[in-house]
Structure 1
Amino acid sequence: MSGEGVPVRCPTCRRDHVYVPPAYPCACGAPLAPPIQRGAAPSPITHRTWTDAWVTVRCRACGRQSQWPQPELGCSCGAVLRVPVRPVMAPPPAEPSPLPEAPPAGARPPGARARTAFRPLTIRTARDAVTTAALYLTWLGFGDVRQAEPPPASGIDVRGRGLVARVDPTTRPASLKAVECLWLHAMTSSARGVHFSLAGYAPDARRCADELHLPLFVLDLTGTPQPVNDAARRLVSAGA
């Protein structure tokens, strides 16, 4: 859901602000903004860590819980404030599922999954994000997947047979330019392009990817990629 303005007072200079948290697309496509904790005092940011840059948010539309950029506000006095977010409460226990009925005599057992469950890698650094993407692409069935060392100026962080992939580990949504550059690299390499981002995608970037049938994935800090668009969902379903 899109955020609404909340009053925030700078503890350094006592100026009052109205803060509107930015909304990013959930993996299900619904806009989602971190729920600001009204009445809680913001705190000046004097030291940044990777963990402090993220908060846990649950989507009201699909119930998915993932990591999102920590809301921040820059005051005119020069202070950068960390805006408190309401903690995610544990969901109510699910009702027990009924036992499945026994198959009729002579029925064939259901087929096994072509892939085992993906084992995520906890993301603590930008390099972990690239490693997670490489592991996931290998799990999807791409061959000879390798990471670029060091990260190249082209922005292509992962390559494989018939594959180029870009991984954006920043706290900003991936831009239209990033998506277009990946698509151009894929075209010139006669390869499939795949994009991963920790902070989601700008609306124009997502529209462009949909038009180009470019798979988009979001990563949370648990290291579990989630498909954002139909092209990504098709890739997960069919594999490489």
Structure 2
Amino acid sequence: MPESVPVRCPSCRRERRYTAPAYACACGAAVVPPLDPAAVPTAVTHRVWDEQWVSLRCMACGRAGQWPQPELGCPCGTLVRIPVARDGTGPWDEVVAAARLLHRLGHRDVRRAGRRPPGGVALMATGLLAHVTAGGRPAALRDVEILWLAAMARSARCVHFSGAGYTADARARADGLAVPLFALTAATPPRPLNDAAHAFLGPAADWD
């Protein structure tokens, strides 16, 4: 299930938890608006058509579409608009490429996690946590360790994607922790970089 975030009403200051709904893409996969827990919710004072929709891309097929803006009705009578996370760290297509690979490997519930790792985007599915490091810098030792620790806390497997490669100590640490590492570009499928990544792919390594 999608993670929930705490939402404080800007009018009465009462806090409630909100879970974004899942919408069905034409391909059959679920599209879930990625909530931004760091942004401040706002009260809806009047309706503007363009503000009632957000542009989201399906993690499974890459199709872009318009979906309802997340909103929550407070008991005080205020309608609260909940901010949706934006990338701002690198090509969104790279995140979609990572999500499509995970979907192809059988993780049908891939979605953006509510909390973002430093300098990247977090994806999650049942029993799996993935980080995509963007922004044009190589993934560092700390990126690998943060992912591994976060996955251990969830009793989940983990996998890392990077659009700008990895530092030498990051690759060494990943090998020691058996964290799969993938090189990522928007134009080509993710490429496995270590033994753990080849094992993660399994029979998919031979797919066209």
- TM-score normalised by the chain length of structure 2: 0.51
**Percent of residue pairs identical:** 45
- Separation (CA, whole Å) in 2 of partners of 1:119 and 1:135: 7
Residue 147 of structure 1: how far off its partner (Å): 1.9
Partners of 1:216 and 1:228 within 8 A in 2: yes
- Separation (CA, whole Å) in 2 of partners of 1:140 and 1:166: 16
AA matched with 1:152: R
Q: Deviations over 1:37-76 (max 9, x none)?
A: xxxxxxxxxxxxxxxxxxxxxxxxxxxxxxxxxxxxxxxx
With over 3 angstroms needed to count, the CA separation of the structure-2 counterparts of 1:146 and 1:119, relative to structure 1, is closer
Unaligned runs of 5+ in 1: 1-117
Determine whether 1:152 maps to 2:152: no
After superposition, residues 57-96 of structure 1 pair within 5 angstroms as none
Match 1:224 to one of 179, 185, 189: 189
AA matched with 2:199: R
* The structure with more radius of gyration: 1
Residue 169 of structure 1: how far off its partner (Å): 1.7
With over 3 angstroms needed to count, the CA separation of the structure-2 counterparts of 1:201 and 1:153, relative to structure 1, is closer
Q: Partner of 2:84 in structure 1?
A: none
Q: How many residues align?
A: 118
- Separation (CA, whole Å) in 2 of partners of 1:234 and 1:166: 18
Determine whether 1:175 maps to 2:135: no
Residue 207 of structure 1: how far off its partner (Å): 0.3
> Comparing both structures, which one devotes a greater share of its residues to helix?
2
Determine whether 1:207 maps to 2:140: no
Unaligned runs of 5+ in 2: 1-59, 64-89
Q: Partner of 1:191 in structure 2?
A: 156
With over 3 angstroms needed to count, the CA separation of the structure-2 counterparts of 1:178 and 1:209, relative to structure 1, is same
AA matched with 2:180: P
- Separation (CA, whole Å) in 1 of partners of 2:160 and 2:117: 16
With over 3 angstroms needed to count, the CA separation of the structure-2 counterparts of 1:156 and 1:164, relative to structure 1, is farther
Structure 1 runs (4+) deviating above 6 angstroms are 118-121
